[in-house]
Amino acid sequence: MFSLEGLKNTIHYTLSASLGTTSTLLVEMLIVGICVISLFAVLGLVLVFMERKVSAYMQIRLGPNRVGFQGSLQTVADTLKLVVKEGLVPNGADKFLFNFAPFLVMIVAMLIMAPIAFTKGLQMWDLNIGVLYVTAVSSISVIGILMAGWASNNKYSLLGAMRSGAQIVSYELSAGLAILTIVIFTESLQISKIVESQQTGWWLFKAHIPAVIAFIIFIIAVTAETNRAPFDLAEAESELTAGFHTEYSGMRFALFFLAEYVNIFIVCAIGSTLFLGGWMPFHIGHWSAFNHVMDFIPGIVWFFGKIFFLIFVIMWFRWTFPRLRIDQLLNLEWKYLLPISMFNLLLATVVAIMGWHF
Amino acid sequence: MFIVDYIKTVFGGVKSLLVGMNRTGYYFFHHKEIITQQYPDVKQVLPERFRGEVVMIHDEKNEHRCTGCTACELACPNATIKIVTKFDITPEGKKKKALDTFVYHLELCTMCNLCIEACPTGAIKMDQTFEHSVYDRSLLIKILNKPGSKLMEGVE
C-alpha cells in the first residue's frame, strides 16, 4: 500500500546523521509546523473558493469568474485586500484580549490537527486518547470566541459570543455521544487503531443503524459547533451585523475567517476518520480482488476525498436550510438530538455486546 | 400518544429537509440555466420607458428646439435644472429671449419625467444610458446644449 513512511524515515535519518537528538527533534517540529501552516493557508484559499462556487451553483448563479481562470484567483485577491487593510482596535476595547482572541482560535485549530492521521504513518502525534483529546481541545475555541466578543466593547459582539457559547456547549454533548457510539465499536480512543479497525469496511456500513444515526447527529452537531448556517446565530448577519467579529478588520478578521474554514476541515476529518474509515480505502469484507484494486489509490487521496465530500455536504446544508431562532436551536439540541443520541448509544451498546455488527 | 407524535415530528422534519436538499442538489448538478445577467459582457435590452438621464435633442445641423422658456425648471420638483437665458437681437431690431446654457444636475435628478412633460416644444427627452458613476461629483453637473448650437427655425 502506498505510504509516506519512507519519506518520513529518510528525513529522520538524514537529520539525525548530522544533528544531535534534541536538534533533530526541533528541526522536525519546525518542518511539521511549516507544513501545518501552509496546509492551513491553502485550505483557507481553496475552501473559500469552493464555498463561493458551491453556493453560486446551488443558487443558479456563476459565482466568482473574473480573477484568474473561472475566478480561481478570487480568494488570493481577497486575501491580499485583507492583508493591506488597517487593523482597527475600537476605543474602550480590552486591547490584550482583543488581539489575542483570533490567535487563540487559530492555536486551537492547530492543536486539533495533531492526532489526525492523514495516511499510513503520516500522523503528528498518535496518542492513545486521540478522540478524547480532540473533543476536549475543540471546546477551547469557544473561549476564543467569548474573548473576542467580550473584548470588543460592543453589544452585538457580546450577544453573538454569548449565543455562540450556549450553542457550542450544547452541541458538544451530542457530538461527543455520536463519537462515543463509534468508540464502543472500535474499543479504542486511538486514531490509528480506529482507522485500522475499518480495514474490512467503514463503520458507517459495518455498524449499520446506530452508526448511520450517529453519523447524522454528528454532522448536525458539528455544523452547529463550527457556527455555520443554518446554525450561524453567533454571526447572525441580519441581527448582529457580524456577531463576535463585528469589530475585527484586516488580518485579525482574516484569522477568524480562516479559523472557521479550518475548523470545518478538522471536524470533517474527524467525521471521516470515525465513520468513513479515515485514509482506509473502500474495502468490502473479504473480496480481496476488489480490495486490492482500491488499494492502488493512495490513502491521502481517499482521506482528502472523504473530507471534501463531507465539507460539500455541510456547504449543501448551508445553502439549503433557513436559519434557526435561538430557542429553536436549543430545542433541537435538548429535545431531539440529545435524547436520540442517548438512545442511540444504548442501541449501539446492545449491538456491540450481541455482536450484531459485521 | 406522545412518543408516536415525537417520532412523526422527527421523520417529518428529516423528510422536509431532504426535499429541500434534493432541490438545491438538482440545481448544483444541472448547471445549465443561469438566472443572473452577465452584466458587463451581456447587456440587457432596456424597456422603452426606461429613464436614465435628461438629454437635449440636437439635429445634424446642431440645432435644438429649446426656447429658454424655463417651463422645465419650474416643473422640476428638486431644482435639478437651471436655465440661463440671454437676449438675441432679431433682424427687425427687437430683443428676443433665447437659451444660453441649460445646466442639468444629474446628481439631484430623480428621473420623474416632469420636465419632459412640461416642455412645450419637445426639446428634451429621457435617454437610456445608466452608467453614470464618476469619481468627482462635479462631473455630474452637465450642460445639455452643445457648444455653438442654436434654436431651430420656426420653433417659438
Which residues of chain A have a pLDDT value below 50? none
Q: Is residue A141 part of a domain?
A: yes
A54 touches chain B (CB under 8 A): yes
| CB contact (8 A) between residue A62 and residue B33 | no
Q: Does A58 touch chain B (CB under 8 A)?
A: yes
Q: What is the ipTM of this complex?
A: 0.74
Q: Is A61 on the interface with B (CB under 8 A)?
A: yes
C-alpha gyration radius of chain B:
28
Cα→Cα distances A67→A43, A64, B40, B42, Å: 19, 8, 15, 18
Pairwise CA distance, residues A169 & A162, whole Å = 11
CB burial of B89-107 (b: ≥16 within 10 Å; e: otherwise) equals eeeeeeeeeebeebbbbbe
Closest-CA residue in chain A for B17? A321
Amino acid in the structure at residue A161:
A
**Amino acid present at A119:** T
B141-143/B95-105 β-pairing: antiparallel
Alpha helices per DSSP H over A250-298:
250-275, 288-295
Is B28 within 8 Å of A57 when comparing Cβ atoms?
yes
- A48 within some domain: no
> What is the residue extent of each domain of chain B?
1-33, 53-151
Let me know: does A124 contact A29? Beta carbons within 8 Å: no
What is B53-151's CATH number, 3.30.70.3270, 3.10.450.40, 2.60.120.1440, 3.40.50.2300? 3.30.70.3270
Chain B residues closer than 8 Å to A336 by CB = 10
Task: Tell me which chain A residues have a C-beta less than 8 angstroms from the C-beta of B20.
Answer: 320-321
Query: CA–CA separation, B122 vs B67, rounded Å?
Result: 10
Question: Residue A285, Cα to own-chain centre: how many angstroms?
Answer: 29
CB nearest to A58's CB, from B27, B33, B34: B27
Per-residue confidence band for B3, with pLDDT thresholds at 50, 70 and 90 = confident
Q: Does residue A62 form part of some domain?
A: no
The residues in A 180-239 lying below 8 A from B, measured between CB atoms, are none
- Residue A253: the pLDDT is 85
In chain A, the residue whose alpha carbon lies closest to the alpha carbon of B26 is A58
Q: Closest Cα partner for A83 from A41, A39, A34?
A: A41
When pLDDT is averaged across residues B79-107 and rounded to a whole number, the result is 85
Strand pairing partners for B126? B54
Q: Is B17 on the interface with A (CB under 8 A)?
A: yes
Q: Assess whether pLDDT exceeds 90 at residue B135.
A: yes
**Around Cβ B152, how many Cβ atoms within 10 Å?**
17
Cell of A227: 457556527
Cell digits of residue A13: 535519518
Each as own residue / partner, the long-range contacts of residues A68-75 (CB below 8 Å, 24 or more positions apart, any chain) are A74/A49, A75/A44, A75/A45, A75/A46, A75/A48, A75/A49
Gap between the Cα atoms of A40 and A258, Å rounded: 8
pLDDT given for residue B19 in this prediction: 92
Q: Residue A332 domain-assigned? A: yes
- Domain contains A181: yes
Q: How many domains is chain A built from?
A: 1
State residue A3's pLDDT score: 62
Q: Which residue of B has its CA nearest to A318?
A: B21
- The answer to the question of residue A4 being in a domain is no
B8 Cβ under 8 Å from any chain A Cβ: no
Is the model's pLDDT at B127 over the cut of 80?
yes
**H/E element, A138:** helix A130-138
Outline where DSSP puts E strands in chain B: 53-56, 63-64, 81-89, 95-105, 124-127, 141-143, 150-151
Contacts with B37 (C-beta within 8 Å, 6 or more apart), sequence order: B44
Contact A58 B33 (CB under 8 A): no
Buried b / exposed e across A63-88, counting CB within 10 Å, b at 16+?
bbbeeeeebebbbeebbeebeeeeee
Give domain status of residue A42, yes or no: no
